Structure 1
Amino acid sequence: MVRISNNLLGLLNIITLLISLPIIVYSLYLYFDHHVNSGCHKFLEFPLLIFGVFLFLVSLCGLIGSCCRAAFLLWIYLFVMFILIIGLFCFTIFAFIVTHKGVGEVVSGRGYKEYRLGDYSHWLQKRFTNADNWEKINSCLHDAKVCESLGHGVYQKAEEFYKRNLSPIQSGCCKPPTYCSFTYMNATYWTAPNSGLANSTGDCIKWSNNQDELCFDCMSCKAGFIANLKIQWRKIAIVNVASLILLIFVYSLGCCAFRNNRVDNGYKRHRAPHH
């Protein structure tokens, strides 16, 4: 009689095996489709392929090991699961540590906040705002058209725009910082003050009314991206806690299945005829 833990573990691995297939197919589509040539998609294709193949192989080991009583494959599966549990636990703790710093700055008379790069973790700054990585991130932001919705003329008056609850990326990348004292013309078009003093340094001189540039090379844009990243990582860390509980449950099932395989294999060797 097939044990319940073996059946349940096999079912879970069939599900993850099926999930891995579209991931592999999509990553191969990104690789071979020459029409998809943006830096953002190119940045994603290799990690997606690695993750898909890894998920497929691990699921296959778990499926064969649980259903076909292959003790060695099940041992490999349990070892990988143990490493995943340790890795996920460490990443969750790390995510909480590197995202504990940094909050948006409330601006008087504005519905949105503004962000400063120095307020955030040095690790996040170093990892995501260096020249090579920022070029890829910048490409992703352009592909996502994060500023396009602001430039459709929905908010005609400055007072209406100032009340807008912008996302961190929109606040940092799609408009000049408030301290630059630029004059609002429309959501993505601003004019510099006549004195020229307020816009002589930093992000103020990096702002461009060219819709392909705007403030995407500004420090405020990098800060807005990291602020958004912080929000997402906090959400992921919370999801990871639930994932850890699930992984520990699956690992426990795997241990039961491994024990069952050893008992059954030992029983078969004991019942085998001796010559």
Structure 2
Amino acid sequence: MATKTKFLTAINFVAMVLSIPVIGTGIWLSTKQDNECVKLLQWVVISLGVVILVVGLLGCMGAFWRVQWMVVLYLLLMFVLIILLLTLVVFVFLVTNRGSGHGHIVPNRAYREYTLGDYSGWLRHRVHAWNRIRNCLASSTTCATLTQRYPLAQDFFNAHLTPIESGCCKPPTLCGYTFVSATYWISPINIGEDMDCLTWNNDQTQLCYSCNSCKAGLLANLKKEWRVADVVLLITLIALIWVYLVGCNAFRRAQTEDIFDQYKQGYT
């Protein structure tokens, strides 16, 4: 009986430990500038991880003290949490699956440029309240550091810029602006018809923060980060399902053996 109790406690402890990658993923996302500005689902991930931790602790206590109702409650709640985590994993996959999200190649440039059409409607809807997001991005040092890092035009053109740097810190290449510095460009005589060409401003507080290319760059960053997070959550989900099934089987066998022991005691 002591061996069965220890095994079931250990299994429930593993379930509790599996909350760590979920919580860690949410914290990692919340530390990213783009997620901080948009606030998508990182707090949902953190909250889900904390609940898994609490439920896992409940299961450990129930198994260790052999309190049947606590173990049963743990199994029921963990089943619900597995369904919720599965739903989250599938949802993130679906909303980040549309389009390549890798950006478009620009001739004679190492960086890529991005368009809003490459992303799902749900992601595009996240940038509708753009004024708040714009102010959040403009308050960062993302664009300010480019001038020091790439003082020469060729250095800048050969740079592998992040999607936000490419979309928010410079005008689109098709506009035909002439490089002066990474965040200061001379307007051509005939500006293209693209609205981003007219939106660009050399004012360091404006730049291309109001451009569609900036919105697309932000979504490209978000998509990349959430795809990484989704892989971590998927691996955790698979491990959690395995632990849950082993725990259910261990609990069922323990119950069967208890009934058999009680029957033998009554018979003798």
TM-score, reference length from structure 2: 0.77
CA deviation after TM superposition for structure 1 residue 222, in Å? 1.0
Stretch of structure 1 that moved more, 98-107 or 179-188 = 98-107
Residues 66-117 of structure 1, C-alpha deviations (whole Å, 9 max, x = no match): 2122222222222232233333333333333332314411111111110110
Give the match for residue 110 of structure 2: 111
Q: Which one-letter code corresponds to 1:6 in the other structure?
A: L
Q: Which one-letter code corresponds to 2:98 in the other structure?
A: H
Q: What is the rounded CA distance, in whole Å, between the counterparts of 1:150 and 1:221 in structure 2? A: 16
Q: Which runs of 5+ in 2 are unaligned?
A: 28-34
Structure 1 residue 163 and structure 2 residue 155: aligned?
A: no
2:83 counterpart SS class: helix
> Conserved in 1, the CA contact under 8 Å of 2:37 and 2:137?
no
Change (3 A) 1:215 1:268: farther
CA deviation after TM superposition for structure 1 residue 119, in Å? 2.3
CA deviation after TM superposition for structure 1 residue 51, in Å? 4.3
Stretch of structure 1 that moved more, 84-93 or 137-146 = 137-146
Change (3 A) 1:168 1:251: same
When the two structures are aligned, how many residues end up with a matched partner? 251
Give the match for residue 100 of structure 1: 98
Give the match for residue 33 of structure 1: none
> Conserved in 2, the CA contact under 8 Å of 1:106 and 1:113?
yes
Structure 1 residue 73 and structure 2 residue 74: aligned?
A: no
1:184 counterpart SS class: strand
Q: What is the rounded CA distance, in whole Å, between the counterparts of 1:15 and 1:96 in structure 2? A: 24
Give the match for residue 225 of structure 1: 218
Structure 1 residue 145 and structure 2 residue 141: aligned?
A: yes
> Conserved in 1, the CA contact under 8 Å of 2:9 and 2:60?
no
1:148 counterpart SS class: coil
Structure 1 residue 191 and structure 2 residue 186: aligned?
A: yes
TM-score, reference length from structure 1: 0.75
Q: What is the rounded CA distance, in whole Å, between the counterparts of 2:105 and 2:38 in structure 1? A: 36
Q: What is the rounded CA distance, in whole Å, between the counterparts of 1:135 and 1:67 in structure 2? A: 53
Q: Which one-letter code corresponds to 1:2 in the other structure?
A: T
Give the match for residue 30 of structure 1: none
Change (3 A) 1:40 1:97: closer
> Conserved in 1, the CA contact under 8 Å of 2:110 and 2:158?
yes
Give the match for residue 9 of structure 2: 7
Give the match for residue 214 of structure 1: 207
Change (3 A) 1:235 1:52: closer
Structure 1 residue 57 and structure 2 residue 50: aligned?
A: no
Give the match for residue 262 of structure 1: 255
Q: Which runs of 5+ in 1 are unaligned?
A: 27-38
> Conserved in 1, the CA contact under 8 Å of 2:16 and 2:52?
no
Q: Which one-letter code corresponds to 2:123 in the other structure?
A: L
CA deviation after TM superposition for structure 1 residue 255, in Å? 0.7
Change (3 A) 1:207 1:159: same
Give the match for residue 233 of structure 2: 240
Give the match for residue 29 of structure 1: none
Stretch of structure 1 that moved more, 165-174 or 57-66 = 57-66
**Pairing 1:35-50 to 2, within 5 Å after superposition:** 40=36, 47=44, 50=47
Give the match for residue 83 of structure 1: 80
Residues 18-52 of structure 1, C-alpha deviations (whole Å, 9 max, x = no match): x59x98xx9xxxxxxxxxxxx93895996577446
Change (3 A) 1:69 1:41: farther
Residues 189-238 of structure 1, C-alpha deviations (whole Å, 9 max, x = no match): 1222234x33x651223222232332222110111111222222332333
2:3 counterpart SS class: coil
CA deviation after TM superposition for structure 1 residue 6, in Å? 1.2
Change (3 A) 1:168 1:52: same
